[in-house]
């Protein structure tokens, strides 16, 4: 009788220890996933700031005589596509990240074309409003870069944690999946060719 009760106590003790261990790992998984979600929110905030600056930039540029209408329409369309492409932080898959990044890259490209065209308009380059907006956009692009880096660091920590043994057992049982990273733009690994004409 005494041996049976001792065995029962040992089994109950092991079950309690396993439960405490599992709860500890689960809570750490939740914390890591929340850090990824928080970092994602900061990325979205930086992109939203850029999107919010664009209407003022377009208004300022529209005032320039004979400004290329097609360029402005491309920026407006790209902004609309970029702001309508969103991701739920619990669903940061490779496919969703690729769609989000493509929409944002398209907007960046449209803005770059706009800035190239602006070079032909001296009155715009001298416009104080335009210069301030251009400076704010440059600052926002830097923030976007910093927030993307922070996000990738949080994703790396989370992905590493859920793949470690024995955490991977609890992560698999509780549905904690790998998160996707931001990746460099297509062709970013190649240095641009510079040709000087004399």
CA 118 to chain centre: 29
Tell me: the pLDDT tens digits for 114-154? Answer: 888 888 777 777 788 888 888 899 999 999 999 999 999 99
Work out the average pLDDT over 151-168.
Answer: 95
CA 92 to chain centre: 9
- In angstroms, the CA 101 to CA 183 distance is 8
In a domain, 57, yes or no: yes
> Which residue in 38, 144, 137 sits closest to 100, CA to CA?
144
- pLDDT-based confidence at residue 26 (cuts at 50, 70, 90): very high
Range of the domain at 106: 32-174
The pair of structure tokens assigned to 158 is: 């989370």
CATH number of the domain enclosing 90: 1.20.120
In a domain, 196, yes or no: no
Provide the number of structural domains found in the chain: 1
In a domain, 76, yes or no: yes
- In angstroms, the CA 140 to CA 137 distance is 5
> Model-level pTM?
0.81
Helices (H), ranges, 63-190: 69-84, 94-118, 122-125, 128-163, 167-174
Residue predicted with more confidence, 194 or 50: 50
CA 119 to chain centre: 30
Q: If DSSP codes are grouped into helix, strand and coil, which group holds residue 112?
A: helix
Q: For the chain, how many residues are written?
A: 198
In a domain, 36, yes or no: yes
Least confidently predicted of 31-35, 60-64, 79-83, 93-97: 60-64
Q: Which residues contact 61 (CB under 8 A, 6 or more apart)?
A: 67, 72, 114, 118, 124, 130
DSSP secondary structure code for residue 164 in this structure: S
In a domain, 78, yes or no: yes
CA 165 to chain centre: 28
Contact 29, 163 (CB under 8 A): no
Is 53's pLDDT higher than 60? yes
In a domain, 167, yes or no: yes
């Amino acid at each position: 009788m005494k041996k049976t009760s001792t065995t029962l106590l040992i089994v109950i003790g092991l079950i309690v220890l396993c439960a405490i261990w599992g709860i500890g790992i689960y809570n750490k998984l939740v914390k890591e996933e929340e850090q990824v979600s928080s970092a994602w929110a900061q990325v979205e905030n930086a992109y939203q700031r850029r999107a919010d600056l664009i209407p003022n930039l377009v208004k300022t540029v529209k005032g320039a005589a004979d400004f290329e209408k097609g360029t402005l329409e491309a920026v407006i369309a790209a902004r609309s596509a970029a702001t309508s492409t969103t991701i739920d932080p619990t669903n940061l898959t490779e496919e969703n990240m690729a769609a989000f990044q493509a929409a944002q890259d398209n907007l960046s490209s449209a803005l770059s074309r706009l800035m190239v065209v602006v070079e032909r308009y001296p009155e715009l380059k001298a416009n104080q409003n335009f210069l301030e907006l251009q400076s704010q956009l440059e600052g926002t692009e830097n923030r976007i870069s910093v927030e993307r880096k922070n996000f990738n660091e949080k994703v790396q920590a989370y992905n590493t944690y859920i793949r470690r043994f024995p955490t991977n057992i609890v992560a698999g049982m509780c549905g904690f999946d790998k998160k996707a990273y931001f990746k460099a733009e297509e062709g970013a690994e190649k240095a641009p060719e510079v040709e000087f004409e004399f």
